[in-house]
Amino acid sequence: MDREDGYFPELGLTVAEPRIQRVDVLGVGISAIDMGMAVDEITRWIETAEQHYVCVTGVHGVMECQRDAELLEIHNESGLTTPDGMPMVWSARWAGQRQVRRVYGPDLMLALCRRAAERGWSSYFYGGNAGVPELLAERLQGRFPGLEIAGTHSPPYRELTEDEDRRIVEAINEAAPDIVWVGLSTPKQERWVARHAGRVHAPALIAVGAAFDF
């Protein structure tokens, strides 16, 4: 991993241990949450300047973690690894966490954008094909009047150079969003949010994948 938990005094951000309980699903710690709990927890990060990233994970993500130790670590060090799929929900309930409900990426985006419009938070959309993040931002603003868009960027499919990555980080930080939505393929998006926590200053980095297209 490229970051360490702790306090970033130059950013005014803290990366702290998450408070939400987890359920072990083949070694992956799935957060024992429903949608309201997810939104409230991310709200707390933003309002207390505590930085975390979010993985939205179903069966595919859990199986990828069986083959990739780094990806497993990324999921288990997240602020939230949401149960995106009924098998995750069933596993949590079998473990005694009866409150767990599916927290699907597109639904999480809508719920948080609704709250963002109410509280004046800004969002940055990173990922998708050319034109997709701009169209997504436009449609979300149409659905949630007052939603602030800090910026958008559609990166190339290839691996970025260090200089390209540095310039993207600088652009996001200059835009100063509260939430960075990351719509890349799995596991690329999970690696991105984990490696950029602490470099990107936003309190919430959320890997939502196909939510950009939906």
Residue 169 to residue 175: CA distance in whole angstroms = 10
Q: For 90-107, what is each residue's pLDDT tens digit?
A: 999 998 999 999 999 999
Q: For 148-175, what is each residue's pLDDT tens digit?
A: 999 999 998 888 999 999 999 999 999 9
Give the position of tokens 């024992």.
Answer: 32
Which conformational region is residue 133 in: left (phi greater than 0), alpha (psi within -120 to 50 degrees), or beta?
alpha
Give the position of tokens 């707390």.
Answer: 44
- What is this structure's pTM? 0.89
* Pairing assessment for the beta strands 28-31 and 22-25 based on DSSP bridges: antiparallel
Residue 176 is which amino acid? A
pLDDT band at 18 (very low <50, low <70, confident <90, very high): low
- Alpha-helix runs per DSSP H in 15-130: 35-48, 59-67, 69-76, 86-94, 105-119
Q: For 110-162, what is each residue's pLDDT tens digit?
A: 999 999 999 999 999 999 899 999 999 999 999 999 999 999 999 988 889 99
Are 55 and 38 within 8 A, CB to CB? Answer: no
pLDDT above 60 for 63: yes
Percent of the chain residues past pLDDT 90, beyond the cut: 82
Residue 71 to residue 76: CA distance in whole angstroms = 9
Are 132 and 213 within 8 A, CB to CB? Answer: yes
pLDDT above 90 for 200: yes
Q: What is the DSSP letter of 3?
A: -
What average pLDDT does range 178-183 have in this prediction? 97
Percent of the chain residues past pLDDT 70, beyond the cut: 91
Q: How far apart are the first and last CA of the chain?
A: 30
> Lowest-confidence range among 17-21, 35-39, 55-59, 198-202?
17-21
Residue among 21, 61, 24, 20 nearest 42 (CA) = 20
